[in-house]
Amino acid sequence: MSQFLLKTILYGCRTVRTSPKISHLGFLGDPNGIVLRWISSSSNQQSFTVSYLKNSLGLSSQAALSVSKYVKFDSPEKPDKVIKFFEDRGFTMTQISCLVRAFPRVFSYNTHENILPKLEFFESKGISGPEIAKMVSLFPTVLARSLHNQILPSYDYMRGLFQSEEKLIRAIKRCPDILRYNIEKNFSPKIDILREHGVPDSNIATLMLNWSKTFMVSRDSFRKTAQKVEDMGFDASKVKFVLAVVAFWTMDESKWQSKIKAYKKWGWSEDEILKAFKKSPWCMMVSEDKLMASMDFLINQMGWKPCLMAEYPVIFTVSLKKRIVPRCSVFQYLLSEGLVEKEVSIGTLLKVPEEKFLQKFIAPYVKKAPKLLKLYREKLDLSSGSESDENVPFNNGIP
């Protein structure tokens, strides 16, 4: 064994080596003493950080411990200043807590030099204080990007793409993260691919407005998806083309085949499924539970033929409990009272906006069927908060 036995003590990513021969340097006879004191100091610092985060921001023990892995402080002076900075700008304590959990490094920033200019930039674009607080608390990593080297160039590039500053502001409110992506690396190559296929900038902007993360895939993967959509016969000039791109971006082959099997269970042929997908790409994006429940109601309770739904696949993108059941209940009641014919257009009944539905199926019959409006309101009340809407675009998928 070597005369100088080395002991290795690991703490985090640091390594400290000690040797018995250095005891004469005055470490109280124990060369490990300095290491132990360092570990103890670091441990105390983390303990203070955890306690501070729990007491000042209401973080759970688990959340506070997680944040303390990225930032530590041994006094409240610095974090107090950061918290006060956001409070003075209208952030609620809940929003600040949310921000800190997602972006712990905010405590290491000089707020007036690094953060304030970015908040002022958003204000200069007409975004209100409460709106800024909401979007920054949900997407705080935008604060880590350089205003002049990243945010401003991204903003200028996208303003040209959107051809409307109002639409761009809407996109930023929804997802300010689009300003933190590398334009040349993440966006430009994919935008070029879409343009090669004939997708107009207005529809590219729509894609970016609603699903900016679609652009985060590799260039080759994005190119294959766009080509697949074109090969299926989608018209690149229509917005359905980019919706189909999103659909394939979110689904792998196994999920796609699973949805096809689900539709086949209700008698749809593969040709009908592909035809429905081309009519309403989002019909393949609804959850299988939602699909099965909607099919069960429309076929088994309404008595409609499966092939009829294949002509109107958009109905699977609207809420079963908040739209389909209440409106179908109104129609069944009118039918039972002999006030309408048995045949009804699914599009007229389920696709039209609320105002037109009321004008068509409620207003003309309120005198002859006084219980009608009450029935409709009861069905809507029963559905309130009982079902989360599917994540579908453009007014629940209705064009």
**In a domain? residue 358:** yes
**In a domain? residue 208:** no
**In a domain? residue 123:** no
**In a domain? residue 80:** no
> Within 10 Å of residue 105's Cβ, how many Cβ atoms?
14
* Single residue among 15, 42, 70 that ends a domain in this structure: 70
Grouping H, G, I as helix, E, B as strand and the rest as coil, residue 296 is helix
Provide the residue range defining the domain that includes 53: 1-70
Going by the DSSP 8-state scheme, the letter that residue 178 receives in this structure is G
**In a domain? residue 203:** no
Structure confidence at residue 299 (pLDDT): 93
* Single residue among 70, 95, 119 that ends a domain in this structure: 70
Residue spans of beta strands (DSSP E) within 69-214: none
Structure confidence at residue 73 (pLDDT): 84
Return the closest-CA partner of residue 186 out of 145, 219, 139, 153.
219
50-84 pLDDT, tens digit each:
999 999 999 999 999 999 999 888 899 999 999 99
Look up the CATH number of the domain holding residue 322.
Answer: 1.25.70.10
Q: Which CA distances in Å does 59 have to 51, 71, 81, 143, 384? A: 9, 15, 18, 21, 31
- Residues of the chain scoring pLDDT < 70: 1-46, 383-399
**In a domain? residue 290:** yes
Structure confidence at residue 45 (pLDDT): 61
CA atoms within 13 A on the CB side of 188: 7
Kindly report the backbone phi and psi dihedral angles of residue 73, in degrees, each rounded to the nearest multiple of 5, phi listed first. Answer: -150, 150
> Number of folded domains in the chain?
2
Q: Is 70 exposed, middle or buried (0-12, 13-18, 19+ CB in 10 A)?
A: middle
Structure confidence at residue 44 (pLDDT): 59
Structure confidence at residue 308 (pLDDT): 85
| 3-state secondary structure labels for all residues of 359-380 | HHHHHHHCCCCCCHHHHHHHHH
Report the C-alpha gap between 265 and 63 in whole angstroms. Answer: 44
**In a domain? residue 31:** yes
Structure confidence at residue 23 (pLDDT): 37
Residue spans of beta strands (DSSP E) within the chain: 7-11, 14-18
**In a domain? residue 305:** yes
* Single residue among 34, 50, 70 that ends a domain in this structure: 70
Distance in angstroms between the alpha carbons of the first and the last residue of the chain:
80
Residue 122, token pair as written in the block: 């958003």
Structure confidence at residue 186 (pLDDT): 82
